[in-house]
Amino acid sequence: MTKQLSLLGFFGTLLIVAALGIAILREPARQVQAADDIRVAAVEEGLDLYATNCVVCHGAGGEGMAAYPSLDNEGVRAMDAEDLFRTIERGRYNTAMAAYGSEEGGIFTDMQVRSLVTLIQDAPWDAVAAHVDELGLTPPALAVAEIDAALFEQVAALEDGATLSAGLDVYATNCVACHGANAEGSTLAPALDSEELRARLTDADMTRIIVQGVPGTLMAGWERALPAADIDAVVALIRRWPELSAAGIALPAIEAAPIDMSPAAIAGGSKLYDLLCTQCHGIDGYGTPLAPALNNQTFLSQTEDAAIQQIIAGGVPGTTMPSWGGYLTEADIAAITAYLRSLEATAPAMAAP
């Protein structure tokens, strides 16, 4: 600025030339300002795209949900912009990460993918989380077992109890939704507290299954979501579960809710649907290019409530249909099911192609 002012003096009365000189001298600064403006605009656009399309898996503040990876980490920020672009444009083969680029049949233009890349590289993630929250798009918390401190102390008091209580913490937060509060299994997943399993699998086998998942089933790979020490602790817990039983330690059960078709439950389900499902299944369940219509007689008349709940909880492995069992309580899933069921009376016979 001072340089420009002194130059102005130098040109004296040659005002036109002076004006020109200033314009030329200011050009680099203006370019920087313009580049900043573009970056700010890109982050803003990316923010809205992120809030409506990515939070269900990557979390409101990029922290990651269940087995889905975090984006708020140095590894991702250090990725080449082109690699990030390709990941979002083309997705990752054989994972839940879908292709979002329009060239790949997705919903975003190149510009939109670029703005997401800018967001991921530049975002102050706590501000992103706050913005997502303002929009009311923060995903529901995971279905976890609430274990009180007294129970943890009881477990920690057992022999090598520190490992057991560490494993229990991991298990209660990440695994109960499918494997049951006391590892007794559920309609979604087998029991883990089982002599048969302990005889069949070595610790190394268990570790491999937890790290890599079981392709084509609801069992995701946890490699990116859990540190190795957590996986070791949960393997030790599965191996040593009988010690808990022997000590009379049982975890609180997670309540199962029957389908409630009251107007309040349907309204609650409708709200969850709007929040979590419309971006793929469309407003009122009429479908989008990303996912089939749910609001049609063919689907609703042929699919039992229990099956709908199971699909929502478990997702459809090998497709972009996420498994919600880890994020939504059974009551939430039942409410969404009640909402979908409430559409049946007026649903068109067949989904529009």
For residues 222 and 174, the answer to whether their CB atoms sit within 8 Å is yes
Q: Can you say whether the dihedral through the CA atoms of 273, 279, 283, 285 is positive or negative?
A: negative
Angle at 57 between CA 55 and CA 73, to 5 degrees: 80
Tell the smallest beta-carbon distance from residue 135 to ligand HEC (Å): 15
Q: How far is the CB of 239 from ligand HEC (least distance, A)?
A: 10
Min CB(64)–ligand HEC separation in Å: 9
Distance from C-alpha of 84 to C-alpha of 120, rounded to nearest angstrom: 9
Rama region for 97: left / alpha / beta (φ>0; ψ in -120 to 50; rest): beta
Please report whether residue 234 would count as binding ligand HEC according to CB under 6 A: yes
Span near ligand HEC by CB under 6 A; candidates 31-39, 151-159, 259-267, 306-314: 306-314
Specify the stretch interacting with ligand HEC by CB under 6 A; choose among 1-9, 124-132, 251-259, 315-323.
315-323
Query: What is the C-alpha separation between 135 and 194, in angstroms, rounded?
Result: 44
Q: Using the rule CB under 6 A, is 125 a contact of ligand HEC?
A: no
- Contact assessment for residue 256 and residue 331, using Cβ atoms and an 8 Å cutoff: no
The first and second tokens of residue 157, run together, are 């008091």
Residue 278 burial class via C-beta count within 10 angstroms: exposed 0-12, middle 13-18, buried 19 and up: middle
Q: Sketch the per residue contact string, 84 through 123, with ligand HEC: x for CB under 6 A, - otherwise.
A: x--xx---x--xxx--x---------------x---x---
Contact (CB, 8 A) for 63 and 70: yes
Complex with ligand HEC: residue 28 or 196, whichever CB lies closer? 196
Contact between 145 and ligand HEC (CB under 6 A)?
no
Q: Are 252 and 146 in contact (CB under 8 A)?
A: yes
Position 78: which residue type? A
What number of chain residues touch ligand HEC (CB under 6 A)?
A: 62
Q: Which is nearer to ligand HEC, 151 or 339 (CB)?
A: 339
Site for ligand HEC in 171-190 (CB under 6 A): 174-175, 177-179, 188-190
Binding site for ligand HEC (CB under 6 A): 53-54, 56-58, 68-69, 71, 75-76, 84, 87-88, 92, 95-97, 100, 116, 120, 174-175, 177-179, 188-190, 192, 197, 206, 209-210, 214, 217-219, 222, 234, 276-277, 279-281, 290-292, 294, 299, 308, 311-312, 316, 319-326, 336
